[in-house]
Amino acid sequence: MQHQRLSASQRVSTNTTGGPDAVHAGDNQVIHPWEAFGSYGNNRRTIIERGEGVYLYDTDGNALIDGPGGMWCVNVGHGRREIADAAAEQMTRLAYCSPWSLTTGPAAELGQRLTALAPGDLNHVFFTASGSAAIDSALRFVMFYNNVRGRPEKKHIITRRDAYHGSTYLSASVSGKGRDKSWFDFETDTVHFVSSPNPYRRPDGMSVETFCDQRIAELEATIEEVGAERVAAFVAEPILASGGVIVPPPGYHRKCLEICRRHDVLYISDEVVTAFGRLGHMFASADVFDIQPDIITTAKGITSGYIPLGAVFLSDRLVADISGDKSNDAIFTNGFTYSGHPVACAAALANLDIIEREGLLEHVREIGPYFQQRLAELRDLPIVGDVRGMGLVGCVECEIDSTTHDALERDYAIGNRIDAHCQELGLLVRPFVNMCVMSPPLTITREQIDDLVGILRTGIERATNDLRREGIF
Ligand code: PLP
C-alpha cells in the first residue's frame, strides 16, 4: 500500500515544537543535534532563560517542568549556586592547564572520590568531555589493551539494537537505533549487533524468562560465530535509555556477563545515564544489576549537566595487564585538551557534595516507585502502548494502528502533538519520536510528580483528539 505523506502542517520537524515559542533569529544559523535539514532555518525552538529546581522558564516567563531533566543529566536540579560558585572560584584561580604533563587539585580529588565510589576494582579513571568521548575512549582502550597484550585480532565489538552510545564515529557505530542509521556511514567490519532485550517486543505468548534466555543464547552464538579470539568487548547500557528506557528482563545482565567471562570478552557498562543517582545509586551496574563490569563509562549526572565532563572507569585487572613490565613501552595516545578540566572537576565535586548531603540517592529509592506507579496509570489511554521504567526514569510509548501513514511520520505526528500540548500546559516532554521519556531532576517531590503525570495525561488526550480530527488515528 502506498503510504500517505503528512501535510507540511501535520509534519513537525524532529526536535522542535509547535508550542508557544519565542524565536531567536540568530538561532537560524545554529545547527542543532538531530537537525532536520528539510526545514533548516525555519525550525522554531523555545528560548529558555533560566532554571530553578525542576522548572525551566522561557523568555515569556512560562514555567515548564523539565520532564527529561535536560537530556537526563540535570540530576540535582537547576539553579544550584553551589556548583556555579565552585566553578567560578576554580576558574578565577586556575581555568586550565595541560593534563598531559600537569595535574590539578580538583582532577586528582575527583579521581580519588569517584574511584572510591565505583564498584569493585574499578580504581582507575580517564576523563573526557562527553559521554560519546567516554565510549570512544573505552573502545579505543580495549583495542589498545589487546594490541599491548599481543592479540591484535581481538578487536570486534558486540552491541545491541536500540542502544545509544553517542555521536562520534565509533560511539555512533556501536549505537543501534535503526532510525538514526539512514544517512550516515559507520564502522561495520568490527561491529556486530544482537537483538534488543525489550520484553515489550517479545513474541506473543512467550514468557519473559524464555525471551531472556533467547537473548543470552544469541549473544553467545554471536561470540562463537565471530570467534571468541576475535571478540574484544560487549557494550551495554544497564537500561537502554534513548532506545526508549528499555529495562531488560531480570538476570539479563548477569547472564550476559557470565557469557562474556566464559569467552574472555570484556564487559563495558555504559552508565552515562544511569550513574549518579538516576536509579537510586551512584552506579547501577553492581547495586541494581548485580554485575561487576570491566569498564564503566559515565558523563551527564557527573556534573548534573552544569558543565561538560565524562569519565571512563577501568579495573585493576585491565590496568595491571598492560602496566610495568607488561606494557611493551606502549603509550596510550588517546586524550583530550579538556581531559580532567579543573573547572569541570570542581563542579563535579560540588555536585557530588549535593547528592550526598541531600540524600538524593535515598530520595530516588523512596520516591521512584511512586513515580513509576503514577506513570503506569497512563496505560489506560488508548494510544499508550507501554509504560516502563525504573527509579526516576520512565517512558510512555505511544502507538496507533495506521495503515495509511508512513510509520516514522505517524510516530513523529504523535510525539510532536503531545510535546506541543504538554508545553502549553507547563511540561517539557521532547519525545524520542513517539516515546515520551521522563527523567526529571532527582529532587522532584510527590506533588511535582502528580503535576507532571497530570499534564502528560491531558497532553496525550489532546494529542489523541487532534490525531482523530486529522484522520491520522
Ligand atoms: N551513552 C549513553 C547511554 C547516552 O544516553 C548518551 C547520550 O545521551 C551518550 C552515551 C553520549 O553522551 P554525550 O551526548 O554526552 O556525548
List the strands of the sheet with 156-160, edge to edge. Answer: 124-128, 310-314, 295-298, 266-270, 231-236, 156-160, 191-194
Q: Distance of CA 351 to CAs 66, 110, 220, 278, 285, Å? A: 19, 11, 40, 14, 21
Q: How far is the CA of 10 from the centre of ligand 1 (A)?
A: 30
* Residues 243, 198: Cα–Cα separation, whole Å: 10
Q: Which of 44-48, 350-354, 447-451 has the lowest mean pLDDT?
A: 44-48
pLDDT band at 24 (very low <50, low <70, confident <90, very high): confident
Residue 436 · residue 242 · CB < 8 Å:
no
- Say if residue 59's pLDDT is above 60: yes
DSSP per residue, 41-70: TT---PPEEEEEBTEEEETT--EEEETTHH
pLDDT score at 404:
67
pLDDT score at 152:
98
CA 301 to chain centre: 10
DSSP 8-state secondary structure symbol assigned to residue 197:
-
Residue 3 · residue 404 · CB < 8 Å:
yes
pLDDT band at 14 (very low <50, low <70, confident <90, very high): very low
Choosing from 159, 160, 164, 393 the residue with most ligand 1 atoms within 8 A of its CB, the one to mutate for a pocket test is: 164
Residue 237 Cβ contacting ligand 1 at under 6 Å: yes
Terminal-to-terminal C-alpha distance of the chain: 17
- Say if residue 20's pLDDT is above 60: no
Residue 271 Cβ contacting ligand 1 at under 6 Å: no
Q: How far is the CA of 210 from the centre of ligand 1 (A)?
A: 30
80-91 tens-digit pLDDT: 999 999 999 999
pLDDT band at 15 (very low <50, low <70, confident <90, very high): very low
Q: How far is the CA of 158 from the centre of ligand 1 (A)?
A: 18
Choosing from 128, 170, 272, 302 the residue with most ligand 1 atoms within 8 A of its CB, the one to mutate for a pocket test is: 272
* Residues 390, 48: Cα–Cα separation, whole Å: 28
Residue 272 Cβ contacting ligand 1 at under 6 Å: yes
- Say if residue 141's pLDDT is above 70: yes
Q: What percent of the chain has pLDDT above 70?
A: 95
Q: How far is the CA of 355 from the centre of ligand 1 (A)?
A: 21
Residue 136 Cβ contacting ligand 1 at under 6 Å: no
In ligand 1, which atom is closest to the CA atom of 71?
Answer: 8
Q: Which of 12-26, 94-108, 165-179, 373-387 has the lowest mean pLDDT?
A: 12-26
- Say if residue 459's pLDDT is above 60: yes
- Say if residue 12's pLDDT is above 90: no
Residue nearest to atom 7 of ligand 1 (CA): 166
pLDDT score at 260:
98
Choosing from 75, 132, 247, 435 the residue with most ligand 1 atoms within 8 A of its CB, the one to mutate for a pocket test is: 132
389-406 tens-digit pLDDT: 999 999 999 998 876 678
pLDDT band at 277 (very low <50, low <70, confident <90, very high): very high
What is the radius of gyration, based on Cα positions, of the chain? 22
User: Which positions ≥6 away from 282 have C-beta within 8 Å?
Assistant: 117, 118, 275, 276, 355, 361
Q: Which of 44-48, 120-124, 423-427 has the lowest mean pLDDT?
A: 44-48
Of residues 412 and 390, the one with the higher pLDDT is 390
Q: What are phi and psi of 159, to 5 degrees?
A: -140, -175
pTM summary value = 0.95
Residue 235 Cβ contacting ligand 1 at under 6 Å: no
Mean pLDDT of the chain: 94
- Say if residue 18's pLDDT is above 60: no
248-261 tens-digit pLDDT: 999 999 999 999 99
- Say if residue 293's pLDDT is above 90: yes
194-227 tens-digit pLDDT: 999 999 999 999 999 999 999 999 999 999 999 9
* Residues 448, 465: Cα–Cα separation, whole Å: 26
List the strands of the sheet with 427-428, edge to edge. Answer: 48-52, 55-58, 63-66, 427-428
Mean pLDDT of 318-341: 98
- Say if residue 3's pLDDT is above 60: no
Mapping DSSP to helix (H, G, I), strand (E, B) and coil, where does residue 296 land?
Answer: strand
Q: What are phi and psi of 223, to 5 degrees?
A: -60, -45
Q: How far is the CA of 183 from the centre of ligand 1 (A)?
A: 20
Mean pLDDT of 272-287: 98
**CATH T-level assignment (fold) for domain 82-357:** Aspartate Aminotransferase; domain 2 (3.40.640)
**CATH T-level assignment (fold) for domain 19-76+359-469:** Aspartate Aminotransferase, domain 1 (3.90.1150)
Q: How far is the CA of 26 from the centre of ligand 1 (A)?
A: 27
* Residues 279, 360: Cα–Cα separation, whole Å: 11
Residue (of 450, 451, 460) closest to 385 by Cα position: 460
Q: Which of 19-28, 229-238, 297-306 has the lowest mean pLDDT?
A: 19-28
Domain spans, the chain = 19-76+359-469, 82-357
